[in-house]
Structure 1
């Protein structure tokens, strides 16, 4: 059978990934969630393991996934309309919960409109499909997320219509803008708000200052796009993300409900005309079923929590625990990348030591992500810690005590 021949070829490709050090480890399975108890934050159980784990590798920065208001909202919506939409949105698959979430997120990020997607990944792809024309030039930060890079490929952006500037380097961004062909009608400058492996942010205010003088050069101007998936909810004075932190709005915001808001799905927010263009042109919106009403209701509830006194308290605790961990690393003489974001990279700069430390933490009940050569260049080996609002002072002290022993 042909599948047997295909399997042999795929096995060889998988073996090659393993030989390169790029193969993913077997997925661990979470079997139980244990709520906070006393001085301890939440703990998790894994299949085949008899210990409890602190998750320091979760994007759920505000720890809202188990919030009773979100669960109640999802339950009510499910009882109202069932567990699935039954159709794509333009074929009567749009429910009141979809519209309510779009209105709520647009208000939250201070944009006229928004469209929701199944993920921020599909939102980035849909945005590229919406904006790209043969006369569109894209410029991106060299450390942009895979979804942005893949989006340009899906939109068939030719190499001649792409520019890459050195990470957060405004002089190099200016160089890329200077090199755009005069015949180009539209320029899109796209970047992550928070760079997920480093925890540093795009300087949106400085990017806009560089971009502004170039706007008159092109028929459709220079459009700035931020993917603020790791920023929104977890960053800025009120959790509005990187634009709030930097004090400047980009033209378009892409984000997710799957990180700080603890639910599922993504969105594009911008002008009303942009939102309608997305509805008409984005294949990843048009040809797939939308989020369930349960996801929409839970995400809307998450936004409401974030806008409440409780949300500000969660954000404040997230900031305190992040600072506690960053200060603790500094006291231990360990290297990190400065910044207030709850993504805290520990720069180990050695593949063997990184793997040993990840294994030591795992054996002592702490889940983290290690990045080693060849996934990252030699000398850039890193362990990414992610602080969540439900982490307690005791939790952070426990992890720091383990690091001190290494």
Structure 2
């Protein structure tokens, strides 16, 4: 059979995305990793490009991906059990490394139990499949991650069972809960901990205060869910993320091993009953192979490091580099969204200038992400920088120096 007809249709759709400015650029291919040396942090080689590049767009906030202990743990697990589990969890695809990781992340997040997934995206979808019902109201922040929005769609949540509150607006959340329709027996309030495009955080303590006010109105209560994928490991006094920073922990915590922990996979930490319900009902857990034993072993070792003096020292270094960068942008006279997190958004507020700056950074060996219209509304055009603790003082100084030169040359200030 021929694909000519559907290919022609899809090519037209792709062309429309390009004309609308919504098409993703061609993916750059990393071909080599160059370890830190001579006062500079790690650098990368790109296919088809000369020179070395510093990544200012990596989620690996604690720079653990190349840590010798993680590599050794992954190597030992692979040599012992092989490269893959060979089956889904409930058909003898569960290894000791899977259960050890679940116990370790539950302990780290101070929850009774945990269930691990291939990603935080599939964790959000699996959680929703497990705890949704026909009489559940979902109340979510307007800027929630795509995985949360997709999870509700996968569950088939009807429009009348959805409520959207304005970003970080607890009074609007209060209004949403006040407006719950008769017959609602369960409410799920779900929000990001760190909002990945902005670097700001949910006021978890105030959100839980609003929930407390309404909790007795519904037979199954109100369940608070935070996706703190960008927060856990990256901030808070001991790296426990938004719950620790705000001094208030939601009922269910979703996170990832693929950012600060530097490995792969996602998790849900909550009560033992909800975890067992996930195991029984979550399609994205039941019908797919789990993480490799190497991933689990490396992730467990990463949590151990985060939960040690070494981890606290890494967190302090990350905080220093983040402050250095934020203060440097301020000295140049550039606008950012304030906050303690290593996601640092530079508000350019113009599509052409954003693209010029991102291209200028690339020409000087700096990788950063530009968000322009129509991906974001006009006036919200942004360059998202992400600080890692492997960035040295000299690295940050260099990026700030180039930023200052580009701003002066291009008139972007």
RMSD: 0.5
Which residue does the alignment assign to 2:114? Answer: 114
Task: Say yes or no: does 1:36 pair with 2:36.
Answer: yes
1:306 alignment counterpart? 306
Inter-partner Cα distance in structure 1 for 2:308 and 2:235: 16
The residue aligned with 2:356 is 356
Identify the residue that residue 18 of structure 2 maps to in structure 1: 18
The answer to whether 1:104 aligns with 2:119 is: no
Q: What is the alpha-carbon distance in structure 1 between the residues aligned to residue 389 and residue 51 of structure 2? A: 22
Which runs of structure 2 are paired with 1:224-239 in the superposition (5 Å)?
224-239=224-239
1:303 to partner: Cα distance: 0.2
Q: Answer yes or no: is 1:297 the counterpart of 2:275.
A: no
Matches within 5 A, 1:251-262: 251-262=251-262
Distance in 2 (alpha carbons) for counterparts of 1:273 and 1:364: 53
Q: Secondary structure at the match of 2:9?
A: helix
Displacement after TM superposition at 1:308 (Å): 1.2
SS of residue matched to 2:114: strand
Quote the residue 2:46 is aligned against: 46
Spell out the pairing of 1:253-402 with structure 2 (5 A cutoff): 253-402=253-402
Relative to the length of structure 2, the TM-score reads 0.98
C-alpha displacement of 1:181: 1.0
Q: Which runs of 5+ in 1 are unaligned?
A: none
**Partner SS for 1:52:** coil
Distance, in Å, in 2 between the alignment partners of 1:183 and 1:251 is: 23
Name the residue aligned to 2:410: none
Please give the alpha-carbon distance, in whole angstroms, between the structure 1 residues aligned to 2:257 and 2:184. 34
Aligned to 1:89: 89
Match of 1:92, SS state, is helix
Give, in angstroms, the shift of residue 52 of structure 1. 0.4
Q: Deviations over 1:310-338 (max 9, x none)?
A: 11111000000000000001101100000
Quote how far apart the aligned CAs of 1:182 are: 2.5
SS state of the match for residue 385, structure 1? strand
TM-score (norm: length of structure 1): 1.00
Once the two structures are superposed, residues 41-70 of structure 1 have per-residue CA deviations (whole angstroms, 9 ceiling, x without a partner) of 000000011110000000000000000000
Quote the Cα distance in structure 1 between the aligned partners of 2:191 and 2:210. 14
User: Using the alignment, how far apart are the partners of 1:157 and 1:132 within structure 2?
Assistant: 8
Counterparts of residues 178-197 of structure 1 (less than 5 Å): 178-197=178-197
Instruction: Tell me the alpha carbon deviations over residues 169-214 of structure 1, each in whole angstroms, 9 at most, x when there is no partner.
Output: 0110011001111310100000000000000000000000011011
**How far apart are 1:122 and its partner, in Å?**
0.1
Work out the CA distance in 1 between the residues paired with 2:191 and 2:326. Answer: 25
CA distance in 1, matches of 2:50, 2:376: 33
How much does 1:279 deviate? 0.2
Which stretches of structure 1, 4 residues or more, deviate above 3 A after TM superposition?
A: none
Q: Which runs of 5+ in 2 are unaligned?
A: 407-413
